[in-house]
Structure 1
Amino acid sequence: MSPTHFRCDVSDGIATLRLDRPDRKNPLTFDSYAELRDWFRAQPYDDTVKAVVFGSNGGNFCSGGDVHDIIGPLTKMSMKELLAFTRMTGDLVKAMIHCGKPVIAAVDGVCVGAGAIVAMASDLRIATPEARTAFLFTRVGLAGCDMGACAMLPRLIGQGRAAELLYTGRAMSAEEGATWGFFNRVVDRDALEDTAQEMARRIAAGPTFGHMMTKTMLNQEWSMSLDQAIEAEAQAQAICMQTQDFTRAYNAFVAKEKPVFEGD
């Protein structure tokens, strides 16, 4: 795919995505929502991409749904049209979860509304000290339960902290986000891009089939009992043991070499 409503650069197995309206702090539109959903939906079938970096642009990550292009039109839609829209936004999150590739959010500056959801739906999150993350939905008269926020955010930062952010819509600082477990690390703005790309390169050099299984289990086991999770992991690991990458790792260990994984 060659997207038209966001930037996508693929190099050495790493796809770097950026919303591309820096003058507006990179808001989402109906078109960019749909195109991002479709791009992530296509990823399970694209072996050229091994890891994804969702980056910032112009000092900001994403300012959420565009006030003029989305919020205004929503006030004039029928219930059927509104439900189609909210299902589409949720489908973006589901597509990110089921894309089979680790996703790293590189968050700088404004990261609010649906932008905060995109960061939340990523597997790993790196921030700058300038990052400000807010789930703004109650501040525009809506509920905080948008795009899976009430299910996913408490699992990342705890029920009480999630409730505070979702009820008040206040911004979470980068320091808070790191302390609470939302961000994996905080780095200087000048180091954000390199840090995210280095993390992506390290992941891309690993066993991509194994990473797909890891991501699948991380998400599927939310709804499993412990016994079910242990059994599911036994089956997943047995499948991974049939891959050539598992054999390569063993042979490299015996030869005292570093394994070179090929994803099969």
Structure 2
Amino acid sequence: MNPATFAPQHFLWSFADGVATVTLNRPEKKNPLTFESYAELRDTFRTLVFAKDVKAVVLTGAEGNFSSGGDVREIIGPLTEMDMPALLDFTRMTGDLVKAIRACPQPVITAVDGICVGAGAILAMASDLRLATPQAKCAFLFNKVGLAGCDMGACAILPRIIGQGRASELLFTGRTMSAEEGERWGFWNRLVEPDALAGEAADWAARLAAGPTFANGVTKTQLNAEWDMGIDQAIEAEAQAQAICMQTEDFKRAYRAFIAKEKPVFEGN
């Protein structure tokens, strides 16, 4: 991938100063997902593993909403006509999008205004950092359409963010989590006003892009890997990961800058 020339078909993409911005862009329907956009998003996040120029990613939605989830006519309708093998192909594909977001080394910041429901809520959940406006309305709606809450990793990831009891409430009922609840529960890292949302997300992304990006990628890897580790195994894994980071030029740059009483300039190697 050349991030400067990448031109996806099913969402907007921009790239500048190490930050890629992905914008879901079907505002007339509150930016729903389709079979094609799911797949293209999955492939894009998979490719980011090899996009060394991309240091951080902002994921957002166009014109006052994040995403209304799977398009009712273009996804839910056809799903009611599929047989089990086709349905399993679909659910595995959507799950692969979450895997791709978690596996890409770049921190992913989701910036949410307005509607963030169904698969949209899952995209926010799968991100590393989440910003929202006071108007954000987030709901894991699967129960409302006769499905289980266990969609795209929700039963594994959501309890780790907000706790088992709160996740159970949202997944069993499908009710909307208010922005204030989401911030208080730790789902949203911060609430900002709508006119400041894009700028705040850009500032966070720029700060991460200017940091020791190799080390940030190691942090993301360990945050994922240590879910399944005991404490002794986790401590050993972190000892090995940190020893690797101590061999980077960024570590040496930080030391030299400290000695010179300067701010370090990291280069990601």
Q: TM-score, normalised by structure 2?
A: 0.97
The aligned residue for residue 174 of structure 1 is 179
Is 1:159 aligned to residue 164 of structure 2?
yes
Alignment of 1:1-264 (within 5 A): 1-264=6-269
Shift of 1:56: 2.2
- Tell me the distance in 1 between the aligned counterparts of 2:233 and 2:190: 32
Q: Which residue type is aligned with residue 215 of structure 1? A: K
Shift of 1:57: 1.0
The aligned residue for residue 3 of structure 2 is none
Q: Which residue type is aligned with residue 76 of structure 2? A: I
Q: Which residue type is aligned with residue 212 of structure 1? A: G
Residue-by-residue CA offset, 1:208-227 (whole Å, 9 max, x unaligned): 10000000011110000000
Q: Which residue type is aligned with residue 163 of structure 2? A: G
Give the SS at the match of 1:26: coil
Paired-residue identity, %:
69
Give the SS at the match of 1:182: coil
Shift of 1:206: 0.1
- Tell me the distance in 2 between the aligned counterparts of 1:42 and 1:208: 17
Give the SS at the match of 2:188: coil
Shift of 1:106: 0.3
Shift of 1:150: 0.4
| Runs of 4+ in structure 1 over 3 Å off | none
- Tell me the distance in 2 between the aligned counterparts of 1:53 and 1:164: 29
Residue-by-residue CA offset, 1:183-203 (whole Å, 9 max, x unaligned): 001011111010010000001
- Tell me the distance in 1 between the aligned counterparts of 2:13 and 2:217: 21
Matched pairs, number = 264
Q: Which residue type is aligned with residue 207 of structure 2? A: R
Residue-by-residue CA offset, 1:224-262 (whole Å, 9 max, x unaligned): 000000000000000001111011111111111111100
- Tell me the distance in 1 between the aligned counterparts of 2:45 and 2:108: 10
Shift of 1:44: 1.1
Shift of 1:55: 1.2
Give the SS at the match of 2:53: coil
Structure 2 stretches lacking a partner, 5+ long: 1-5
- Tell me the distance in 2 between the aligned counterparts of 1:9 and 1:44: 17
Give the SS at the match of 1:142: coil
Q: Which residue type is aligned with residue 14 of structure 1? A: V
Residue-by-residue CA offset, 1:118-171 (whole Å, 9 max, x unaligned): 000000000001000000001101000000000000010011110000010000
- Tell me the distance in 2 between the aligned counterparts of 1:4 and 1:14: 20
Question: Is this contact kept in 1: 2:25–2:61, CA < 8 A?
Answer: no
Give the SS at the match of 2:250: helix
- Tell me the distance in 1 between the aligned counterparts of 2:52 and 2:175: 40
- Tell me the distance in 2 between the aligned counterparts of 1:44 and 1:72: 34
Aligned residues: CA RMSD: 0.5
Shift of 1:78: 1.0
Q: Which residue type is aligned with residue 213 of structure 1? A: V
